[in-house]
Structure formats: C-alpha cells, structure tokens
C-alpha cells in the first residue's frame, strides 16, 4: 500500500470524543406511584359521572324546605328563688294607697328652717375680661390662702432641728477647746494680737500687689511668667488668711 501524503487538514486539532453518559436512574416504583395518584380521577374528567343516579318522582323542591328548623317555643318560668312577676297596674276606679297619714305642717316647718338657717356665702370670683368672664379666685393664686393655715407664722420643724444641731455642735466645740486649754496645747489670741496679725497680712498684700502692678504686660519669657504666677499665688493665700482673721473673732494657736 502506498502511504498517504500529508495535507493541510491534518494540522487541524481534533476534539477528543466526549465520554458517554451513564444511563439515568429510574425508580422501580415509578409506575406504581403514577397509577396510585391518577387512580379514580380520570373518569369524571370530561363527561361527568360514569353512573348518574336517576331522580325519583318525589325528589323536587318543596315550599319552605330551605328554611332553618327552629326549636319548639317553651313558656317562660321563673327559677327557684327568683321574685315572681310584678303585680298588674291597678285600674282607674281603684283608690291608690297613700301610706300613713301625718299631722305635720310642712309650710310652718319649712318657714322655720329657712328663718333659722345660715345663708350661704357667695363664691369668690374675679373678672379678667371686659365682657365679664369670671373665674374662681381661690385656685388663681391672687388670694393669700397661706396666711389662714394653722402653721402660718411658726418656725418649721426642720429649722428647729437644724438650730438644735448647731447648738449641740457649738457646745462640743467649746468643750474641745476647754480641754485643750487645760492641757496647755492651745492659746487664744487677744484682740490686739489678732488686729496686729491682720494688719500685717494686709500690708504684705499691698506690697506684693504694688510690685505686681509694676510687672511687664507681655510675659514672653519663662522667668516673667513664673514670677507673675508666684505673685498671684501669694496674693490669693494672703486673701484667704485675711478672710479667716476678719471672719472669726476668737483665734486659737498651738503652743
């Protein structure tokens, strides 16, 4: 045999054949389930029932046959323990019973009650419009109702308790100071010494304040800033000390 000569078609890539798919799984109960689902449903599909019952001669629509059947009507009866039926209204010819008779003179009694009764005071009102619309005066706040209270003008209970607490604290402080006086641990400054210390504090504050006023307005260097802060702290401390000596007349110092 002669060998075939190469051609251009031999250069074309040939796609590999795709592998064959395995057969699809089919359940063995497929037809049984289908028969069970469709059983008895196809006979009334187009032509109606296979066997239509023949109507009888007495099976026709009758009068009042569609109306609901109600239970038998029973007569009403009162249960045990309930009141009986009210008596009927008496006829016009019967004279009504007016009850017991009395000899009371209602005209005289009413006149005596009106004469001896205290007249009712009119309610206080005020008008706030030009056409005369009135409102109650009591809830408006225009009438001083609080002056009529029982506790008006009396010292409240919380103030009395606070005053008693202040007196007790002052007594304890006096006892504490007396004990320290006896031990010699504290000494009370005289009025002259207190005024002398107070005057010295004020003089120191004026000196520092005068020096503070002479500082430069611009504090552009750390020394200027530190000096200004130190002088402000000294003046604040002197102001606190002056306030203490001016506020308290009796000053005690430790020995």
Q: How many Å apart are CA 138 and CA 144, to the nearest integer?
A: 9
Tracing tokens 């009334």 back to the chain, one arrives at 44
In 46-202, the DSSP E strands lie at: 125-127, 134-136, 186-188
151, part of any domain: yes
State how many domains the chain has.
2
Token couple for 50: 């296979």
76, part of any domain: no
Q: In whole angstroms, how far apart are CA 211 and each of 99, 131, 197, 214, 236? A: 112, 74, 21, 5, 15
Q: What pTM was estimated for this model as a whole?
A: 0.34
Token couple for 59: 């099976």
Residues 191 and 232 in one domain: yes
Residues 151 and 168 in one domain: yes
Q: Name the nearest CA neighbour of 255 among 174, 191, 189.
A: 189
For residue 205, the model assigns a pLDDT of 94
Cβ-proximal residues to 181 (8 Å cutoff; 6+ apart), any chain: 188
Residues 230 and 176 in one domain: no
109, part of any domain: no
User: Could you say which DSSP state residue 104 is in?
Assistant: -
90, part of any domain: no
Q: How many Å apart are CA 116 and CA 110, to the nearest integer?
A: 10
For residue 209, the model assigns a pLDDT of 92
Residues 149 and 175 in one domain: yes
Chosen domain end from 184, 212, 231: 184
Residues 246 and 195 in one domain: yes
For residue 204, the model assigns a pLDDT of 93
Q: Name the nearest CA neighbour of 208 among 232, 241, 244, 226.
A: 232
For residue 199, the model assigns a pLDDT of 92
Per-residue pLDDT of the chain (255 residues; tens, 9 = 90+): 455 677 777 778 888 888 888 999 899 999 999 888 877 766 566 666 667 778 788 888 888 888 888 888 888 777 765 666 677 887 877 766 666 677 889 999 999 999 999 988 888 898 988 888 999 888 888 888 888 888 888 888 999 999 999 999 989 988 887 787 777 667 778 888 889 999 999 999 999 999 999 888 888 888 889 999 999 999 999 999 999 888 887 777 776
94, part of any domain: no
For residue 234, the model assigns a pLDDT of 93
244, part of any domain: yes
Residues 196 and 250 in one domain: yes
Residues 172 and 199 in one domain: no
Could you write out the DSSP letters of every residue in 10-73?
GGSPPPPPPPPPPPPP--TTHHHHHHHHHTTTSTTSSS--SSPPPPPTT-S--TTSSS--PPPP
For residue 49, the model assigns a pLDDT of 64
Residues 179 and 190 in one domain: no
Token couple for 188: 């009370």
* Host domain of residue 170: 145-184
Residues 178 and 222 in one domain: no
Chosen domain end from 184, 207, 238: 184
232, part of any domain: yes
């Amino acid at each position: 045999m002669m060998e075939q000569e190469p051609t251009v078609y031999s250069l074309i890539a040939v796609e590999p054949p795709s592998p064959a798919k395995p057969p699809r799984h089919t359940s063995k109960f497929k037809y049984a389930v289908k028969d069970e689902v469709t059983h008895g449903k196809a006979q009334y599909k187009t032509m109606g029932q296979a066997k239509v019952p023949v109507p009888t001669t007495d099976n026709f629509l009758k009068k009042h046959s569609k109306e609901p059947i109600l239970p038998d009507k029973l007569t009403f009866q009162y249960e045990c323990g309930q009141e009986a039926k009210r008596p009927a209204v008496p006829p016009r010819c019967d004279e009504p019973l007016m009850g017991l008779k009395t000899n009371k003179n209602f005209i005289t009694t009413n006149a005596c009650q009106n004469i001896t009764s205290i007249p009712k005071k009119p309610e206080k009102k005020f008008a706030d419009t030009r056409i005369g619309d009135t409102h109650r005066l009591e809830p408006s706040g225009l009438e001083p109702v609080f002056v009529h209270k029982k506790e008006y003008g009396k010292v409240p209970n919380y103030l009395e308790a606070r005053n008693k607490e202040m007196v007790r604290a002052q007594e304890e402080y006096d006892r504490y100071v007396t004990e320290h006086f006896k031990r010699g641990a504290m000494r009370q400054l005289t009025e002259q010494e207190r005024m002398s210390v107070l005057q010295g504090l004020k003089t120191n504050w004026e000196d520092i304040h005068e020096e503070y006023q002479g500082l430069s307005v611009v504090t552009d260097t750390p020394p200027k800033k530190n000096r200004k802060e130190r002088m402000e702290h000294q003046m604040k401390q002197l102001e606190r000390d002056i306030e203490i000596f001016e506020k308290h007349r009796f000053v005690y110092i430790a020995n």
